[in-house]
Amino acid sequence: MTVSCFPFSPLAPITLSLSLLLAVVPAAANPEPETPYFKASPALSMELKNAQWFDGKGFQQGTLYVKDGRFTKQRIKKAQRQMDLKGQFLIPPLADAHNHNLQTLWGFARYAPSYLRDGVFYTAQQCGEPKAVSEMRPIAAQAASPEVLFNSACITSSDGQPLAQLMGEDPKLRAEDFIDKAVLVMDSPQDIAQKWPLIAPRKSDSIKLMISRSESPELRADPKQWGRLGLKPELVPAIVKRAHQDGFKVIAQADTAADFALAAQSGVDWVARLPGLFFFEGTNAERYRISADAASEAAKKKVSVITAISGSKLFPMSAETLTAVRQLQAENLRRLLDAKVPLLLGSDLYNGTVLSELRSLDSLGVLERAQLLRLATVDTPRALFPKRKIACFDDGCEASFLLLKSNPLQGAQGLEALERIQLRVKQGRVLSQ
User: How long, in residues, is the chain?
Assistant: 433
How many angstroms separate the CA atoms of 138 and 325, rounded?
Answer: 40
How many angstroms separate the CA atoms of 260 and 209, rounded?
Answer: 12
How many angstroms separate the CA atoms of 104 and 133, rounded?
Answer: 7
Shared fold status for 39-91+392-432 and 94-384: no
Domain boundaries, the chain: 39-91+392-432, 94-384
Mean pLDDT in consecutive groups of 10 residues from the start of the chain, 433 residues:
36 40 46 70 97 96 97 94 96 97 93 95 96 94 96 97 91 92 97 98 97 96 95 98 98 98 98 95 95 98 97 90 96 98 95 92 94 97 98 98 95 82 98 93
Q: What is the 3-state secondary structure (H, E, C) of the chain?
A: CCCCCCCCCCCCCCCCCHHHHHHHCCCCCCCCCCCCCCEECCCCCEEEEEEEEECCCCEEEEEEEEECCEEECCCCCCCCEEEECCCCEEECCEEEEEECCCCCHHHHHHHHHHHHHCCEEEEEECCCCHHHHHHHHHHHCCCCCCEEEECCCEEECCCECCHHHHHCCCCCCCHHHCECCCEEECCCHHHHHHHHHHCHHHCCCCEEEEECCCCCHHHHHCHHHCCCECCCHHHHHHHHHHHHHCCCCEEEEECCHHHHHHHHHHCCCEECCCCCCCCCCCCCHHHHCCCHHHHHHHHHCCCEEECCCHHHHHCCCCHHHHHHHHHHHHHHHHHHHHCCCCEECCCCCCCCCHHHHHHHHHHHCCCCHHHHHHHHHHHHHHHHCCCCCCCCCCCCCECCEEEECCCCCCCCCHHHHHHCEEEEEECCEEEEC
Q: Pick from 55, 52, 39, 54: which is nearest to 116 by CA?
A: 39
Q: φ and ψ at 367, to 5 degrees?
A: -105, 140
How many angstroms separate the CA atoms of 191 and 35, rounded?
Answer: 45
How many angstroms separate the CA atoms of 366 and 334, rounded?
Answer: 7
pLDDT at site 206: 98
What is 94-384's CATH number, 3.20.20.140, 3.40.50.150, 3.40.50.720, 3.40.50.300? 3.20.20.140
pLDDT at site 37: 86
CB atoms within 10 A of CB 375: 22
pLDDT at site 398: 98
How many angstroms separate the CA atoms of 161 and 225, rounded?
Answer: 9
Specify whether domain 39-91+392-432 bears CATH 2.30.40.10. yes
pTM for this model (two decimals): 0.92
- Contact (CB, 8 A) for 208 and 272: yes
How many angstroms separate the CA atoms of 399 and 65, rounded?
Answer: 9
pLDDT at site 314: 86
Does the bond joining 162 to the residue before it have cis omega, within 30 degrees of 0? yes
How many angstroms separate the CA atoms of 372 and 223, rounded?
Answer: 42
